[in-house]
Amino acid sequence: SQQGEEDPQALSIQEGENATMNCSYKTSINNLQWYRQNSGRGLVHLILIRSNEREKHSGRLRVTLDTSKKSSSLLITASRAADTASYFCATANFNTGGFKTIFGAGTRLFVKA
């Protein structure tokens, strides 16, 4: 079952513009992660934010987390054509023996050169 919704479902921007994707979730979490997937290949981990953190940066990526609203956003600054991919948020909740990870529906990002 999906944890929550991501919006927008698809986003088309010009190279150099910023892209913002949002994710909402339903249950309590230990952390939230963002992943990128190119054309049905494996997922690449981008960034992890813990439940007690509010903002995190990594290169051109900025992630925020609002646990009171159960939402997160991913900002990609100065986008490039190579950023074209699907982006998923994933929430992790510690379960006995391992983390149960649930992915959001994803945002398909198109960056036009």
Partner 1 sequence: DTEVTQTPKHLVMGMTNKKSLKCEQHMGHRAMYWYKQKAKKPPELMFVYSYEKLSINESVPSRFSPECPNSSLLNLHLHALQPEDSALYLCASSQGARSGGNTDTQYFGPGTRLTVL
Closer residue to partner 1, CB minimum distance, 15 or 71: 71
What backbone torsions phi and psi does residue 4 show, to the nearest 5 degrees?
A: -165, -160
Binding residue for partner 1, selected from 72, 104, 109, 111, defined by CB under 8 A: 104
Q: Does 107 bind partner 1 (CB under 8 A)?
A: no
Binding mask 35-54 for partner 1 (x = CB under 8 A): x----xxxxxx--x-xx---
Retrieve residue 13's tokens. 């921007």
Q: What is the DSSP letter of 82?
A: G
- Closest-CA residue to 5 (of 20, 29, 19, 26): 26
The residues of the shown chain that bind partner 1, judged by CB under 8 A, are 1-2, 30-31, 33, 35, 40-45, 48, 50-51, 88, 90, 92, 94-106
